[in-house]
Chains A and B, each alone.
Chain A
Amino acid sequence: MRPLLVVPLVLAGLAAFAATGAAVSDSDFFWHLAIGRDIAAHGPPRVDVYSWTVPGGAVLPDQWLGELMLYAAYAIGSWTGTIALRALTVGALIGIVVWTALAERPHRPFIAVMASLPAIAVSRFAWTDRPELFGLLCFAILVALLRAVRRGSFSPFALCVPLVLLWTNLHGSYALGLGLVLVVALERALADPSRRRGYAAVALACVLATFVTPAGIATWTSSGGHFLAPPRYVQEEGTPDVTSLPGLLFSIALLATLATAMLAPRARSRDVLFEIAVLVPVAFVSLTATRHLVFFPIAAAPFLSLWGPEAWNEGVRTLREAWGDVPQRVLPNVMRTRMNASRTRGSRAQRDPRPNAVEGGTREHAMPLGRLAANLAAGLVAIGMLIAGIATSPRDPDLSAFPIAALPQLPAGPGLLNRYEWGGFLIWYAPATPVFVDGRLFPYVGEPLDDYRAVIGLHPDWRQVLAKRGIRTVLVAPSDAIAVQGAALGWPILARTPEWVMLRVP
C-alpha cells in the first residue's frame, strides 16, 4: 500500500518553517552569490576575478547551476528569496527522508519518524545557503529511488540518470551518488540477472552524465581530490567528532544501525547485499569529514524504519525466553503494556516479515478519495507553514560576524590581507577591494594559502611574505598573532572593534 503523505508533508512544512528562522549569514554564501551573478551575466566562470593573489587563475565551474539558482532566488526576492529557496529545499529534503522511511513501513508513521530523527537533526547543520544543500536533497532523492529499486521496481533506477546529470551541475557531492548507483547496479545485477543489461546501461549512462557539465572531466578530479585529501584546517572538513552534537547524532544512527543489524533476525533476507552496498560505503564517506556526517543517517533511516522494530522484538523475545513471565510480574504497568504490544507486533511480523515484500514489482492500489483528501490537506498545511515562515523570516542578512564597519575604509585595489572566512563577504560587499583569500579555498592551495598562514600566524618568514606580496593593510581578528604583533610594533590602527581590527602596514 502506498504510504500516506500526511506525516512527510507536515514534517516537511515544519522543517521549512524552521529553516526560515535564520537570517542569511553563511560566509561562503556571498561568493556563491557573486559567482551566480556573473554566471547570469557572462556564463560559467573560467578564471578568478575576485582575488589579487590568484587573479586570472583557473577556477572550476563545478557548482555553476547551484550558484545560478542561489542568485536567481536572490534576484527574484532579494534576501527573502534566498531564505525561501533554503526553506523549500530543506522542506523537500526532510519530506523525502521521512517518506522514504515510511515507504518501508507504511503503517507505522511513528517508527518512520523515529528512524528519521537522526537524519533530520544532523541535516540541521547543513541548512546553509550553499549548493551543498541541493546536493543533500539529491542524495535523499537517490536513496528514495534506490529503495524503490530494492522493492522490485526498475523504473526508479532509470530516473537516476537525470538525477545524476542535474546533481553533477549542482554540487560536487554527485560523486557519492554516482558511486552508490554503480554499487547498487552491481548488486541488482547479481540479485536480478534478468535485468542485468538494464542495470548496466543505467550505470553507464550515469557515468556519462557526469561529463555533461562545463567543468568537464575536471569535476572528477575536484571531487576525488576533495574527498581523499580534505583540508582539515577548515572546520567542516575536520575529522568527525562524536562528542559534538552533530557527531553524536551521527553516531546514534550508526550504532542503532549496527545494533539493529545484529539483533533483527530477518534483516538477513535476500536483500542483505543491497543494504551492505548502500550502508557500508556511505558510512565510510560519512566518517571522512564533519560535513559528510549527514549522509549516513539519511541512508540509514529507511533501514532503521524497516528493521528497528524487528530488533526490538527480538530483544524482548530473548528476555521473555530467559525470564518467562517474571518481567510481567516485576515491570511497571506501562512497560508491561508495551511488551505485550511488541509481542503482538512480533507475531504479526512473523507472518509478514518484509512489509513491502508483497508489493514488490506489482502495481500499487489506486488511492481512495479519503487518502487523497488527507494528503491534499497535509500539502496545504505544509505550503501554509512555508509561506508563514517566509513571511516572518528576517528581511536582512545577519552580518554581525563580519567586519561591516570596515567597509568604508577599505583601500581599493590590491594589498589587503583579509581573514579567510571574511573573503566571501568582501567579494560581495567590497567588490573594489580584491581579496587575499576566501572560502573557495582550492584556487589558493599552495603558495597563497601558505603565505596567508605565515602572516596571520606569525611564522618565521612573515616579514618576507609581507614584503614579497606587497601587503599594505591587514583586516584580521584582534586575537590573531599578526594583529597582536602589529600593535606591539606600533602599526597604525585604521579601525577596531572587539571582533576585528584593521591595521596599516608601515
Chain B
Amino acid sequence: MTAWRLAPLYVAAAAFAIAVSLPGGDPDTYWHLASGKWMVDHGQLLRADVFSSTVNGAPYSVGEWLGELAIYGAYVLGGWAGIALLRATLIAVGAFFITRVALRSAPAPFALAVTALALGLSEISWTDRPQLFTFALFPLLLELLTAARAGRTRLLLAVPPLILVWTNLHGGYALGLALVAIFAAEAALTRRNVVPFAAAAVLAVAASFIDPGSLGLGAAAAHAASPPRFIVEEAPPDVLRPAGFVFALFGLATLGLALARGGTLLDALLLVPLFWLGLSAQRHMPYFALAATPYIAGGLSELWWRWRPSSRFALPRPAIVGIGVGLAAMVAASVATAPFAPIETQYPTAARAKLAATGGNLLNEYDWGGYLIWRVPERPVFIDGRLFLFLPDVLTEYEEMVFMRPGWRDQLDRHAIAQVLLRPDRPLAVALRDLGWTVVSQDATAVLLQRPSR
C-alpha cells in the first residue's frame, strides 16, 4: 500500500472538518425537520399537508420520508449539533468516494487538486436537507460502477439496494438511475459485461418503485426540464459568479481536454448529459463537476507527463503521518468549536412572539415559510419551500399580492389575510402602510402588518 492510498481518508477528514463548522439555517431544513417530527409523533407517513392555511389537507409527496426521518433523528439525538454532524458525515462520505474515483484515473496530486476544486464548488449544496444523501450516494455509486467496469462485477450486487435506499431518501435517486443506465449502455455498446450491468440496471429501476412517495422518474425529469427559476438554486449558472465560474472551469477544461486527448465512449455518455444538467440549474452544477473530476485529473496528468516525463510524486512517511495527525486535530477542533446553532438573522425573529400571540390567516414571505413552520407551529403558513404543493394557484396568488399586481386586494380578501409578514421593501408592505394597516413589529429584516379592524 502506498501512502497515497490514504488520500481519500484525508480528503474526507478535511471535508468533514470544514462542513461541520459551517452554520446551518437553510429555510428548507425547518420544514423537513417538522415533517420528520410529525411522522415520529403520529407514527405514520405524512401524506397530506398539515402546515399551511392554503393547501391544508392536500396530498403531500412522501418521496423523501426516510431522509426527513434521518434528519429529525439526528436532531433528536444531538440537537443542531446532531444535524451538523450528519451533514459533515455525509459530505465526508461523498468526498471519500469521489477521491477514490479520481485516484483510479490520475496520480494523487492531480486527483486531489481537481477533487478539492469540485468539492469547493459543491459547497453550494451543503445544506441540511435530504439532498445531502444524494451528495454522498452519487460518488459512492460512481465508485461502485467504475470498480465493476474495471472487473469487480460482484460489486453490482450492491447497486439495487443502494437505489432502493436512495429512492426513499431523496428525489436525486433519478441521477443514480441515470448513472446505472449510462454504464449499462456503455457495457451493451462495447459488449463487455453486458449481462451484469443490464441486470443491475433492471433491478435498480425495479427497486426505485419501492417507495411510498409519488415522486417518479417523470416528475424528476419534468423538474430538470423546467426548473422554477425564481428560486436561486434553480436558476441557471452565472459563470461570472464564483460558483458558476468554477463550474465553467470544469466545463471548459473538459472541452479543452477532449479536444487535446479525446475520451472514451463512457466519458462521452457520462459527461455530455451531466454537463447539460449542470447548465440547467445551479443546484446540479456539483454533479457534473464530481463526474468530470476523474476525466480532468487524468487529462491533466497525461499532459503533465508529456511535458515532464520523469516527474515523480512521493511524500516521505513522516509527512504522511504529520498530515494525518494535523487533520485529526483539525477535525477535533472543528467539532469542538463549531457554531452548531443555525444562524437566523435572515428570518423574522423579532416578529415571532407577536405571531405566536395572535391569530388569523397569515401571508408570509416564501423564504420564511419553513422557519415559521418550525418556530411558530401554531400559525399555519401561506406558502413555504415545499413549492410543488403550491403550484400553480397559490404561488400565482402569492405573487399577485406581494408584487401588487392588479387584483391583489381581492386575493387578500379572498384568503381573509389578517396579517402580512414580509420584507420591508416589498411593494405590498409599502402599500399597506399607506392604506392604514398597523405595524405590529418591524426590524431591518421583516415587517408584520395587521389588517385594520372595520
A455-471 interface code vs B (CB 8 A; 1 in, 0 out): 00111101000000000
Residues of A with C-beta under 8 A to B240: 228-230, 288
A255-B272, A255-B275, A280-B252 known; A485 and B260 CB under 8 Å?
no
B235: interface (CB < 8 Å) = yes
B408-428 interface code vs A (CB 8 A; 1 in, 0 out): 110000000000000011010
Contact call A458/B236, Cβ cutoff below 8 A: no
Contact call B280/A485, Cβ cutoff below 8 A: no
Contact call B251/A283, Cβ cutoff below 8 A: yes
Residues of B with C-beta under 8 A to A334: none
Among the stretches B46-54, B134-142, B152-160, B262-270, the one at the interface with A is: B262-270
Contact call B248/A287, Cβ cutoff below 8 A: yes
- Complex interface residues of chain B between 235 and 278 (CB less than 8 A to chain A): 235-240, 244, 248, 251-252, 254-256, 258-265, 267-268, 271-272, 275-276
The distance in angstroms between the C-alpha atoms of A382 and B261, with both chains bound, is 42
Among the stretches A55-63, A262-270, A386-394, A438-446, the one at the interface with B is: A262-270
A322: interface (CB < 8 Å) = yes
What is the total of A-B residue contacts with beta carbons within 8 Å? 135
- Complex interface residues of chain B between 7 and 31 (CB less than 8 A to chain A): none
B229: interface (CB < 8 Å) = yes
Contact call B236/A272, Cβ cutoff below 8 A: no
Contact call B260/A257, Cβ cutoff below 8 A: no
B343: interface (CB < 8 Å) = no
B177: interface (CB < 8 Å) = no
Name the residue of chain A whose CB is nearest to the CB of B258: A261
Contact call A242/B279, Cβ cutoff below 8 A: yes
Residues of A with C-beta under 8 A to B409: 488
Residues of A with C-beta under 8 A to B318: none
B341: interface (CB < 8 Å) = no
B392: interface (CB < 8 Å) = no
Name the residue of chain A whose CB is nearest to the CB of B227: A243
- Complex interface residues of chain A between 226 and 272 (CB less than 8 A to chain B): 228-230, 232, 239-243, 247, 251, 254-255, 257-259, 261-265, 267-268, 272
Name the residue of chain B whose CB is nearest to the CB of A307: B259
**Residue from A232, A257, A263, A315 with most neighbouring chain B CB atoms (10 Å):** A263
B430: interface (CB < 8 Å) = yes
Contact call A243/B262, Cβ cutoff below 8 A: no
Among the stretches B86-94, B124-132, B168-176, B398-406, the one at the interface with A is: B398-406
Residues of B with C-beta under 8 A to A229: 240
B77: interface (CB < 8 Å) = no
- Complex interface residues of chain A between 470 and 495 (CB less than 8 A to chain B): 478-479, 481, 484-485, 488-489
B357: interface (CB < 8 Å) = no
A468 to chain B, nearest CB (A): 17
**Residue from B409, B425, B435 with most neighbouring chain A CB atoms (10 Å):** B425
The distance in angstroms between the C-alpha atoms of A268 and B434, with both chains bound, is 68
A318: interface (CB < 8 Å) = yes
Contact call B265/A272, Cβ cutoff below 8 A: no
Contact call B255/A288, Cβ cutoff below 8 A: no
Contact call A322/B276, Cβ cutoff below 8 A: no
Contact call A318/B279, Cβ cutoff below 8 A: no
Contact call B235/A239, Cβ cutoff below 8 A: yes
Name the one of B237, B252, B275, B424 contacting A284, with C-beta atoms under 8 angstroms.
B252
B220 to chain A, nearest CB (A): 15
Name the one of A242, A255, A276, A481 contacting B236, with C-beta atoms under 8 angstroms.
A242
B431: interface (CB < 8 Å) = yes
B189: interface (CB < 8 Å) = yes
Contact call B404/A318, Cβ cutoff below 8 A: no
Contact call A459/B248, Cβ cutoff below 8 A: no
A277 to chain B, nearest CB (A): 10
Name the one of B192, B238, B429, B435 contacting A488, with C-beta atoms under 8 angstroms.
B435
B225: interface (CB < 8 Å) = yes
Name the residue of chain B whose CB is nearest to the CB of A278: B259
The distance in angstroms between the C-alpha atoms of A489 and B236, with both chains bound, is 39
Name the one of A254, A263, A283, A458 contacting B427, with C-beta atoms under 8 angstroms.
A458
- Complex interface residues of chain A between 147 and 185 (CB less than 8 A to chain B): none
A380: interface (CB < 8 Å) = no
A279: interface (CB < 8 Å) = yes
Name the one of A242, A264, A268 contacting B280, with C-beta atoms under 8 angstroms.
A242
B220-240 interface code vs A (CB 8 A; 1 in, 0 out): 000001110100000111111
Contact call A263/B262, Cβ cutoff below 8 A: yes
Residues of B with C-beta under 8 A to A318: 189-190, 265
Contact call B191/A323, Cβ cutoff below 8 A: yes
Residues of A with C-beta under 8 A to B191: 322-323
Residues of B with C-beta under 8 A to A228: 240
A357: interface (CB < 8 Å) = no
The distance in angstroms between the C-alpha atoms of A484 and B225, with both chains bound, is 34
The distance in angstroms between the C-alpha atoms of A323 and B190, with both chains bound, is 8
A307-333 interface code vs B (CB 8 A; 1 in, 0 out): 000000001001100110000000000
A275: interface (CB < 8 Å) = yes
The distance in angstroms between the C-alpha atoms of A481 and B252, with both chains bound, is 42
Name the residue of chain A whose CB is nearest to the CB of B229: A241
Contact call A240/B236, Cβ cutoff below 8 A: yes
Residues of A with C-beta under 8 A to B248: 284, 287
Contact call B431/A485, Cβ cutoff below 8 A: yes
Residues of B with C-beta under 8 A to A460: 424-425, 429-430
The distance in angstroms between the C-alpha atoms of A319 and B267, with both chains bound, is 16
- Complex interface residues of chain B between 172 and 215 (CB less than 8 A to chain A): 189-192
A458-B431, A489-B434 known; A262 and B406 CB under 8 Å?
no
Name the one of A255, A265, A267, A283 contacting B252, with C-beta atoms under 8 angstroms.
A283
Contact call B259/A276, Cβ cutoff below 8 A: yes
The distance in angstroms between the C-alpha atoms of A228 and B275, with both chains bound, is 23
A435 to chain B, nearest CB (A): 23
Name the residue of chain A whose CB is nearest to the CB of B265: A318
A228-B240, A459-B430 known; A243 and B251 CB under 8 Å?
no
- Complex interface residues of chain B between 374 and 418 (CB less than 8 A to chain A): 403-406, 408-409
**Residue from A268, A287, A322 with most neighbouring chain B CB atoms (10 Å):** A287
A242-B279, A460-B430 known; A263 and B272 CB under 8 Å?
no
Name the residue of chain B whose CB is nearest to the CB of A228: B240
Contact call B236/A258, Cβ cutoff below 8 A: no
Contact call B260/A239, Cβ cutoff below 8 A: no
Contact call A262/B263, Cβ cutoff below 8 A: yes
Residues of A with C-beta under 8 A to B268: 258-259, 262-263
A240-B236, A259-B272, A323-B191 known; A479 and B406 CB under 8 Å?
yes
A243-B280, A251-B276, A283-B252 known; A261 and B259 CB under 8 Å?
yes
Residues of A with C-beta under 8 A to B261: 268
Name the residue of chain B whose CB is nearest to the CB of A241: B236
Residues of B with C-beta under 8 A to A484: 404-406, 408, 431
A251-B279, A263-B263, A263-B268 known; A257 and B255 CB under 8 Å?
yes
Contact call B239/A261, Cβ cutoff below 8 A: no
The distance in angstroms between the C-alpha atoms of A488 and B271, with both chains bound, is 55
Name the residue of chain B whose CB is nearest to the CB of A261: B258
25 A-B contacts (beta carbon < 8 Å): A228-B240, A239-B238, A242-B276, A263-B263, A263-B265, A264-B262, A267-B262, A272-B259, A275-B259, A276-B260, A279-B259, A283-B252, A284-B248, A287-B237, A287-B248, A287-B279, A319-B189, A322-B189, A322-B191, A460-B424, A460-B425, A460-B429, A479-B405, A479-B406, A485-B434
Give 9 new A-B contacts, CB below 8 A, not counting A262-B271, A322-B189: A228-B240, A241-B236, A243-B227, A243-B280, A254-B255, A259-B268, A268-B259, A287-B279, A485-B430
Closest 6 CB pairs of A and B: A262-B263, A261-B258, A322-B191, A458-B427, A481-B427, A481-B404
